[in-house]
Amino acid sequence: SESLAIGDINIDQYDVVYFAGGWGAAFDLGFSEAVGEKVTEANQKGKILGGVCHGPLGFLKAKGLNGDPLVKGRRVTGVTDKQVRDLRITATPHHPETELRKLEADFRCTHRFRDPFANWWEVDGNIVTGQNQNAAPMVAREIMELLV
């Protein structure tokens, strides 16, 4: 009852917009026009944008300064299609690698044989992303470096 609706958030009160990810993110972040509008606004105001695992799905509806998709041509990462298959994640409607590549993101990652938690993170300007939860400490460190 105390939570703010995304549309009610004043983006000027924040320095960072961060999406933690998890399977639940695949059901709403990438479909939400309100999330896309807030991320677009945050980007226009030079805020830091971050996400790990399924979290970068929160960037799908956002626009860059030129009106193109925010992630077009940007180096980003998130959970990979291989990791989704290896973990047998079949119920989620969006998978970060697939969806980010559709928007022409420069999707980067690492793979290891039989390692569903292979780890990677990327920094491209104000966007900081991590391949999975194991990247969260590195993503946090990179965000902190951008803040200071």
Q: How much is the pTM?
A: 0.94
Structure tokens at 132: 């999975």
Can you give the pLDDT at residue 63? Answer: 98
Can you give the pLDDT at residue 11? Answer: 98
CATH topology of domain 6-147: Rossmann fold (3.40.50)
Domain ranges of the chain: 6-147
Report phi then psi at 49, rounded to 5: -115, 130
Can you give the pLDDT at residue 113? Answer: 73
**Do 49 and 43 meet the contact criterion of CB atoms below 8 Å apart?**
yes
Can you give the pLDDT at residue 144? Answer: 98
**Do 45 and 39 meet the contact criterion of CB atoms below 8 Å apart?**
no
Can you give the pLDDT at residue 5? Answer: 92
How many other CB atoms are there within 10 angstroms of residue 22's CB atom?
14
Residues of the chain with pLDDT under 50: none
Can you give the pLDDT at residue 75? Answer: 99
